[in-house]
Structure 1
Amino acid sequence: MRNVSISREGLPETVLPPENPEIVELLDAALQLENQNLRREKLNQIAGRFPSSIEVWKTMGLAGRDTMESYAAFRVGYHRGLDALRKNGWRGSGYVRWGHPSNRAFLECLSGLQRISEQIGDFAESERCGIFLLQLDPEMPDNL
């Protein structure tokens, strides 16, 4: 129950803790594999070891073989991110800003979910994700 502060505007701001450096190293090594099947196998192994890691699910979403595989990974990352936010004091509203690097995996999962929801024709979901992103950080970059 930490990393929540009141901003100048009065809304609380939550900052997720940094990712485990071991996970980051494992993901970097997996992404260096040229063989797509080996890369996927390694990413699945990492997800099995660290299922609550938002960074793992974000990476799997970006490395997905197709739209629905990416969609599923981004959705899991989004939900793992909500769990992590709640664990760190977030109560369903307030800022989760892009300016804090440790928040980015969650925001990228939400952005990925928004983008793919639009691609598959789930426009209501895409709109909800877009609104949520703006609520979390009105100044977040548009090019995610």
Structure 2
Amino acid sequence: MTSFGDLLGPQPVLLPENTDAEEALLNKADPVQVAAGHPAASIAWAYLAEAALTRGGADGPDATVNHDIVSAYAFARTGYHRGLDSLRRNGWKGFGPVPWSHEPNQGFLRSVGALARAAKVIGETEEYARCLDLLEDCDPRAAAELGLG
């Protein structure tokens, strides 16, 4: 159950910008260098995870476990955990809105989406379901924006 539209629910968490990392990525900097230089930036880990998922063929009908899929899982899990740290520092209590529309939140949400995709390929169905539930709780739009809904 999401608290969107619930006046008594927790306020949406709006993460602060990580301007240096975000600008570097928008300017086509190597995401490996951005992640190394800004390890707390979930967006850099999301870029790495999404690229590995693409290389590994995660969205193909015959997706199989390979080095890139396992790497994507690790990158996405790192972005997810760094995002949780940031969310908690900014008042999130483990539930409630994390709006997709607020761009600095997208690194965390994209990491969760990438983790879901990698988990599905490696057969970790419980993790896949947890990620989809988390996205739904954070923002019902997020899964659709990430091609998961």
Q: Same fold (TM over 0.5)?
A: yes
Alignment of 1:99-110 (within 5 A): 99-110=101-112
CA shift at 1:29, angstroms?
4.2
Percent identity over the alignment? 36
- Report the counterpart of residue 44 of structure 1 in structure 2: 32
Q: Which residue number corresponds to residue 19 of structure 1?
A: 18
Worse-superposed segment, 123-132 or 46-55:
46-55
Aligned residues: 128
TM (norm. structure 1) is 0.79
Tell me, in whole angstroms, the C-alpha distance in 1 between the residues paired with 2:96 and 2:76: 22
Q: In structure 1, the residue corresponding to 2:101 is in which secondary structure?
A: coil
CA displacement 1:97-127 (0-9 Å, x = unmatched): 1121121111111011111101110001001
Aligned to 2:82: 80
Alignment of 1:43-122 (within 5 A): 43-64=31-52, 65=55, 66-122=68-124
In 2 relative to 1, CA 118–69 (structure 1 residues): closer, same or farther, beyond 3 Å?
Answer: same
State the distance in 2 between where 1:91 and 1:79 align.
14
Greater strand proportion: 1
Query: Would you say the 8 A contact 2:135–2:143 is kept in 1?
Result: no
Does the residue aligned with 1:63 lie in a helix, a strand or coil? helix
Cα 1:51–1:11 shift into 2, 3 Å: same
Structure 2 residue ranges without an equivalent (≥5):
56-67
CA deviations 1:34-68 (Å, max 9, x no partner) are xxxxxxxx433322211111111111112225111
Select which of 139, 142, 149 maps to 1:140: 142
Q: TM-score, normalised by structure 2?
A: 0.77
Gaps of 5+ in 1: 1-5, 32-41
Structure of higher RCO (CA pairs closer than 8 Å, 6+ residues apart): 2
Deviation of 1:140 after TM superposition, in Å, equals 3.0
- Deviating runs (4+, > 2 A) in structure 1? 24-31, 42-46, 138-141
Please give the root-mean-square deviation of Cα atoms over the aligned residues, in Å: 1.9
The letter of the residue matching 1:55 is I
